[in-house]
């Protein structure tokens, strides 16, 4: 049937106006339903206040040109209400435990010195005088028996 015949038989018709953003949103929803995916939740912010009481070495972020560089800054002393970090060196906008650095204590720690949200490798001395290394859930470890640890990254779903 030709368009002119259709109009003669059914009358003139017009398409409803469609908002392009509404169409994009609907297509995204269809795609997520079709492939069984969900939008990723917003990452949780890591609470660095644990590092104040533990006294572990930290590093802060500095912009050098267009690159972000992390420099050692000593112990974290304070976090104010504006989420500014005060360290032994200088105020910083971002702070984290020193990455790829061995933090050691011959007597261990009273509690976990690392905030939740990091990837941590730990070493402890066992009864057979051997070093034992683990990448298990570091929050559940007996930290009084851990002599060394290394922070190697940030877990998925977390941000500084």
The pLDDT of 146-159, averaged and rounded, is 89
pLDDT range class, residue 97, cuts 50, 70, 90:
very high
pLDDT > 70? residue 152: yes
Rounded Cα distance, 146 and 124, in Å = 5
Q: What is the pLDDT of residue 62?
A: 75
The token pair that represents 26 in the structure block: 């609907």
Q: Is 139 in contact with 119 (CB distance < 8 Å)?
A: no
The pLDDT of 64-85, averaged and rounded, is 83
The SS3 call for residue 138 is helix
pLDDT > 60? residue 15: no
The token pair that represents 68 in the structure block: 């972000």
Is this structure's pTM higher than 0.85?
no
């Amino acid at each position: 049937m030709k368009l002119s015949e259709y109009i003669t038989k059914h009358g003139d018709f017009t398409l409803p106006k469609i908002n392009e953003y509404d169409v994009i949103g609907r297509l995204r929803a269809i795609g997520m339903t079709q492939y069984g995916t969900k939008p990723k939740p917003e990452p949780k912010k890591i609470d660095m206040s644990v590092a104040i009481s533990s006294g572990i070495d930290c590093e802060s972020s500095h912009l050098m040109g267009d690159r972000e560089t992390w420099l050692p800054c000593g112990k974290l002393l304070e976090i104010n209400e504006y989420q500014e970090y005060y360290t032994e060196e200088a105020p910083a906008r971002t702070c984290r435990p020193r990455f790829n650095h061995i933090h050691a204590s011959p007597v261990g720690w009273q509690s976990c010195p690392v905030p939740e949200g990091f990837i941590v490798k730990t070493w402890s001395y066992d009864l057979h005088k051997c070093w034992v290394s683990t990448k298990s859930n570091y929050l559940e470890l007996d930290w009084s028996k851990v002599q060394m640890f290394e922070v190697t990254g940030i877990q998925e779903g977390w941000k500084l």
